[in-house]
Amino acid sequence: MKVSAIVQARMGSTRLPGKVLRDLAGRPLVEWICERVGQAQLVDEVVLATTQEAEDDQLADWAKSAGLHVFRGSSDDVLDRYYNAAKQVAADVIVRITADDPFKDPIIIDQVIHAYLKAGVDFAYNNFPPTFPEGLDVEVFAFQALQKSTLYALSADDREHVTQYLYRNPNKFSQLNIPYTKNISWLRWTIDTEDDFEMASAVYKHFQNQTDTFLMNDILEFLRSNPEVVQINQDVKRSSMYDDIDVVEARRLGF
């Protein structure tokens, strides 16, 4: 059984263009992400799925030079891009990764893959409802589930966001959520804005001399001692998945 982590990335971000190749602690953001994902023991390969647009030539060239499999497809129909990327590498199981999350944790990725395999479901994740920090999302699903989604998902939202059809059809796809021990999803560990990038840069600067990969618990310990870093990007508008979170109350409860 082949487990492929497919990283969706493009240069044309509407909120922070070019962020995936932007320098973070001396290396492109996407390089950190792919390296961290590749450290998951249950991931067999990392694949970059980008677009056919000329602006993504540089990104595709970087991925090839890094020894990654590269697939280039539609800029708007990300679901189709994902499906064809998985088909190209003959993936049995897909781990969906977005290229704006600099703190992806290989231990958490392995936990979700293990839970998926043990339960024998079509779709496993750790973000519905969200409990981990935003940016540590992991979604694992069968190639057959992706193929079925590609055939039957019709709305633009489903085509753009890859897994929405799976979430919306639990009667068609068996599912499993793997929650954290408490809800700390009010912590924002993703990059959409300059404030997000500043926060990530502060964390990477702190760990720059550490030889081992820093993980979620390491970051939490740092942030507890440096609460001003948490505040850098806490006013950034969040994904709709996090709309129900009372951030003020969550801050009071701590992490």
- DSSP codes joined into one string, 53-118: SGGGHHHHHHHHHTT-EEEEE-SS-HHHHHHHHHHHTT-SEEEEEETT-TT--HHHHHHHHHHHHH
Please report the pLDDT score of residue 248 as a whole number. Answer: 55
Dist. CA 85–CA 106, nearest whole Å: 22
CA angle 203, 57, 10 (to 5 degrees): 45
| Fold of the CATH domain 3-177 | Spore Coat Polysaccharide Biosynthesis Protein SpsA; Chain A (3.90.550)
pTM exceeding 0.85: yes
CA atoms within 13 A on the CB side of 34: 26
Answer yes or no: are the C-beta atoms of 17 and 197 closer than 8 Å: no
Dist. CA 127–CA 166, nearest whole Å: 13
Answer yes or no: are the C-beta atoms of 135 and 190 closer than 8 Å: yes
Dist. CA 5–CA 68, nearest whole Å: 11
DSSP 132: S
Please report the pLDDT score of residue 170 as a whole number. Answer: 97
Please report the pLDDT score of residue 15 as a whole number. Answer: 85
Considering the chain, tell me which residue range(s) the CATH 3.90.550.10 domain(s) occupy: 3-177
Please report the pLDDT score of residue 101 as a whole number. Answer: 98
Q: Amino acid identity, residue 240?
A: S
Mean pLDDT of each 10-residue bin along the chain, 255 residues long: 97 91 98 98 98 97 97 97 98 97 98 98 97 97 98 95 97 98 95 97 96 97 97 84 55 62
| Alpha carbon 10 to chain centroid, angstroms | 14
120 is written with which tokens? 């024998």
CB atoms within 10 A of CB 152: 11
Please report the pLDDT score of residue 14 as a whole number. Answer: 81
Please report the pLDDT score of residue 239 as a whole number. Answer: 65
Please report the pLDDT score of residue 154 as a whole number. Answer: 94
CB atoms within 10 A of CB 148: 18
178 is written with which tokens? 């793997």
Cis peptide leading into residue 129 (ω within 30°): yes
